[in-house]
Structure 1
Amino acid sequence: MTQELVFDNKLHSLKNLAWWLYLIHGACLIFSLGLFSFVPLIINYVKREDAADTFIYSHHNWQIRSFWWYVVWVAVGGVLFLTFVGIPLAFLVWGVAWIWKAYRLIKGLLDLNDNKAMPI
């Protein structure tokens, strides 16, 4: 095999994995409100270095950052919920965080499909 063909096969494999990770993150968001997203997150961390020097590396970073920012906003909503005064605000924060994470997953999946790197 030529070196280009090996690189193309590797890139295709990495892109396929990133695609599946977007779908798993999305399924976790829908079916567990993101509770089980730690599973694809671990895979993102493990496989990210394999994608070094490709546009797919940025997609792993995008998914990792999306996860952690979502956790931050869910925690902020939790603090608001525990104060009892902020219960309606907590639900608003949680709803906006869910929509934001869904947007990021859809945006990432579309950009991956178009072979575009995600912004830093």
Structure 2
Amino acid sequence: MSDSMSNDKRRSLTIYNHITYFLYVISYFTAGLLWIVPIVMNYAKRHDADGTWLSTHFDWQIKTFWYSIVWFIIGIVITAFALGGFGVSMLADSGNIAIGSTLLAGFGLLIVTFTFIWHLYRIIRGWIALTDGRPVP
């Protein structure tokens, strides 16, 4: 990767990336309401870093966002489907359906939990790399 960007531009984009990583971390304390802000910011400035090591941080955050959204939705859908089955089993007085629904709901919650941890890991790993002045893989 060539790095033909001026020092001021590099410093500006580095600070910008620090802000977006910070907003991702803060989003955990706002029930995810701030999740949309850093993704919009990343798309807005992504092409300013083309051809530099900073472009890897923009791509890293964008991929982290989209993969997290997809897996989180899959986990929620599985959990909601399972809990619906659990409600049906209560009405039908069927213990077998209740056990299966409980296991499926647990699987859905496991996906949500894994996604949460994976997202946090990627934000921390990326932020550490940015602080060290390194690209992320």
Structure 1: 5+ residue stretches without partners? none
Instruction: Trace 1:3-14 onto structure 2 (pairs within 5 A).
Output: 7-14=6-13
TM-superposed deviation, 1:29: 2.8
CA distance in 1, matches of 2:25, 2:69: 15
CA distance in 2, matches of 1:18, 1:10: 12
The aligned length equals 114
Q: RMSD of the TM alignment (CA)?
A: 1.5
1:13-60 alpha-carbon deviations (Å, 9 max, x no partner): 10000011001011113431x343111101100101111121111100
TM-superposed deviation, 1:68: 0.3
Structure 2: 5+ residue stretches without partners? 83-100
Contact 2:23–2:34 at 8 Å: present in 1 too? no
Instruction: Trace 1:1-120 onto structure 2 (pairs within 5 A).
Output: 7-32=6-31, 34-84=32-82, 85=101, 86-119=104-137
Which one has a bigger Cα radius of gyration? 2
Q: TM-score, with normalisation over the residues of structure 1?
A: 0.88
CA distance in 1, matches of 2:19, 2:110: 29
- Deviates further, 88-97 or 99-108: 88-97
Q: Identity of aligned pairs, percent?
A: 31
1:75-113 alpha-carbon deviations (Å, 9 max, x no partner): 111121122222111211111100000000000000001
CA distance in 2, matches of 1:97, 1:111: 21
Structure 1 residues 13 and 53: CA distance shift in structure 2, 3 A: same
**Stretches of 4+ moved more than 3 A in 1?**
none
